[in-house]
Amino acid sequence: MPAVSSMRALERPERESEALAEELAARGAAGRPLAIVLGSGLGGLVERLAVRCVIPGAELEHLPRPRVQGHAGEIVLGELGGVPVIIQSGRVHLYEDRSPFEVTRFVRALARLGVRALLLTNAAGGLVAQWAPGTFLCLTDHLNLQGRSPLFRGEGSRASPYDEELGALLEQTARAHHIALERGVYAGLLGPSYETPAEIRALRALGAHAVGMSTVAEANAARAAGLRVVALACIANPAAGLGVESLRHEDVLWVMRRSAERLAVLLERVGPAWAPLLSR
């Protein structure tokens, strides 16, 4: 009996991601090698796309829609640096009373659409005092401290989900265009409240360089589904105990919107460098 229950639990998330993939394919989303998930305040990136087509989230029955300011909740098709892309502008979070399978439904659907690589972006608190707001961070690994897993039994591995080859090309491109890019470990917490100074001290002791409330579930599920994964955090603020005493979501959005143009330049340049790897 437990085996039957387990199979039923598996079937529903799989059916939902398949249904979303079918909806997206019907709107012309199939066959694009690169997908991007935009974090808080980064929606302006879609304005840089060539041949842009916007699919409102309300028109996709199986796409969970965000309830957080700064997340548009739409899918955008276009070209970035000559590479066909599908972009989720506005993710959902676990703290919105969403299950791990809802949070990762879009990335699992991507694998069914023929996507080869996924770039995840997010707004993060910086745990390195020298990093100013607006600093970009290429994730080398993460700590999943959200108390939830998006993986089914038998999925996942012991390795980091983040692709070293794609990450190295991202770093090379950033250096070539004088865009500061750090490397480090991201701690994913459940949220929605910001961390206390004691929690930040504990995270630094664990080896984290940035902290946020997204990304880890999507990265794990995407890698399990066969996608190559890169993640880019934008440091929106110093973490508790390292900067200002109070922080509002509006402050985070302000920094992220100011950083969106530099992010767009970086992604426009790295797209052609990634393209040969995405055709393998």
Q: Is 259 a catalytic residue?
A: no
Average pLDDT score over residue span 30-58 = 89
pLDDT for residue 6 is more than 50: no
- State the pLDDT at residue 236: 87
Q: How confident is the model at residue 44 (pLDDT cuts 50, 70, 90)?
A: confident
More confident position, 78 or 10: 78
Tell me which of 202, 249, 273, 275 is the catalytic residue. Answer: 249
Q: Is 214 a catalytic residue?
A: yes
Which CATH number fits the domain that encloses residue 25? 3.40.50.1580
- State the pLDDT at residue 217: 97
Q: Is 209 a catalytic residue?
A: no
Q: Is 122 a catalytic residue?
A: no
Tell me which of 21, 109, 117, 123 is the catalytic residue. Answer: 123
Q: Is 96 a catalytic residue?
A: yes
Q: pLDDT digit string (tens) for 27-43? A: 999 999 999 999 877 87
Domain tally for the chain?
1
Closest CA to 42 of 273, 242, 214: 214
- State the pLDDT at residue 243: 64
Q: How confident is the model at residue 187 (pLDDT cuts 50, 70, 90)?
A: very high
Taking CA atoms, 145 is separated from 88, 149, 231, 265, in Å, by 24, 10, 17, 32
pTM for this prediction = 0.91
More confident position, 11 or 60: 60
- Residue % of the chain over a pLDDT of 90: 66
Q: Is 237 a catalytic residue?
A: yes
Name residues whose C-beta falls within 8 Å of residue 159's C-beta, 6 or more positions apart in sequence: none
Average pLDDT score over residue span 141-162 = 90
The span from the CA of 103 to the CA of 115, in Å, is 18
Tell me which of 213, 221, 236, 239 is the catalytic residue. Answer: 213
Largest CA distance in the chain: 59
Average pLDDT score over residue span 191-218 = 94
pLDDT for residue 2 is more than 70: no
Q: pLDDT digit string (tens) for 133-145? A: 999 999 999 999 9
pLDDT for residue 75 is more than 90: yes
- State the pLDDT at residue 72: 65
Q: Is 178 a catalytic residue?
A: no
Helix (H, G, I), strand (E, B) or coil at 83: strand
Average pLDDT score over residue span 241-251 = 67
Tell me which of 95, 144, 160, 275 is the catalytic residue. Answer: 95
pLDDT for residue 1 is more than 50: no
The average confidence (pLDDT) of the chain is 89
Tell me which of 237, 239, 264, 268 is the catalytic residue. Answer: 237
Asked if 214 and 98 count as a contact pair (C-beta separation under 8 A), the reply is no
pLDDT for residue 219 is more than 70: yes
Question: Containing domain of residue 73, as a range?
Answer: 2-278
Tell me which of 18, 22, 79, 96 is the catalytic residue. Answer: 96
Q: How confident is the model at residue 244 (pLDDT cuts 50, 70, 90)?
A: low
Q: Is 279 a catalytic residue?
A: no
Tell me which of 35, 74, 93, 219 is the catalytic residue. Answer: 93
